[in-house]
Amino acid sequence: MALDGRLIETLDAAQAVMEGRLGGFAPEVGLILGSGLGPLADQVEEPVFIPFGEVPGMGTSTASGHVGRFVAGMLGGKRVLAMQGRLHGYEGYSAQEVAFPVWLMARLGIGTLITTNAAGAINESYRVGEFCIMADQLNFTGRNPVTGTEPDAMAPRFFSMMDAYDPALRALAHRVADELSVPVQEGVYLGLLGPSFETPAEIRMFRTWGADTVAMSVCEEVIAARHVGMRVLGMSLVSNMACGVEGASPSDEEVHEVGEARQEDFCRLVKGILQAL
């Protein structure tokens, strides 16, 4: 998939296809389900499945465990549009291609985005299997989806990233986690392009920058969401300690094993947040 200077035109086409497939269903919350977290979409009630490949401008997911489809329906009492899998820069997609489904969600009337992923812990007080609410981010992908002229036609080019992760949504997530007795951390997330895991030297550097977790997604999605005024809640599953922390050497298999083990609490937590919105 290549947008090739046709971002607005392609969004128009994608919006028309999605509205046709949704048949009058108007989603209010967008969900992006990261590595090991996709099974939450299987709990959507009266689901409508729309494979990414059937939507103009959408790429296909090649990452392990990413189904690569939209799932629309009811979850936690809210009308949701979930991405069961996401697009990554390391798959060869541009920043705008990664951001495309977020802009599409905004076109469909979605005002709140919950983005999730699996991440490595830089903060040595974190433990594998915990959840971490994103308080802020460090975009170290070297890319920004709002570069160029077409995004400027959608919303102002220059916009604030103060409170990129909505403070009220973060407070709500903490309250729900406490009510459900699901321990959560809160910290700064650092996003990289990938696909190689970080070196121990890089992790030591990132720690001095104030990063608590690290992974290969999310940042470009959040920039795109804030560009068009969406509220954002970000949450990571700590799937591994970052490279060199406590001698860790991360692997893709470890990420998916931890995701499977923590699936029940993840589903309880996200559904509880939706119910409380």
Structural domain that includes position 230: 7-276
pLDDT band at 4; cut points 50, 70, 90: low
pLDDT at 251: 73
Cis before 145? omega within 30:
no
Count of domains in the chain? 1
Instruction: Say which range, 33-37, 61-65, 162-166, has the weakest mean pLDDT.
Output: 61-65
Mean pLDDT of the chain: 93
86 is in an annotated binding site: yes
174 is in an annotated binding site: no
207 is in an annotated binding site: no
pLDDT at 247: 74
- 73 inside domain: yes
Q: For 223-235, what is each residue's pLDDT tens digit?
A: 999 999 999 999 9
- 2 inside domain: no
87 is in an annotated binding site: yes
pLDDT at 259: 79
pLDDT band at 118; cut points 50, 70, 90: very high
61 is in an annotated binding site: no
123 is in an annotated binding site: no
**More confident of the two residues 263 and 32:** 32
- 166 inside domain: yes
Q: What is the mean pLDDT of residues 206-216?
A: 97
pLDDT band at 1; cut points 50, 70, 90: low
Say which residues have a Cβ less than 8 Å from residue 84's Cβ, sequence separation at least 6.
33, 38, 41, 66, 67, 68, 69, 70, 71
Residue 39's domain is classified under what CATH number?
3.40.50.1580
- 200 inside domain: yes
Rounded Cα gap, residues 35 and 236, in angstroms: 10
- 187 inside domain: yes
66 is in an annotated binding site: yes
**More confident of the two residues 245 and 270:** 270
- 1 inside domain: no
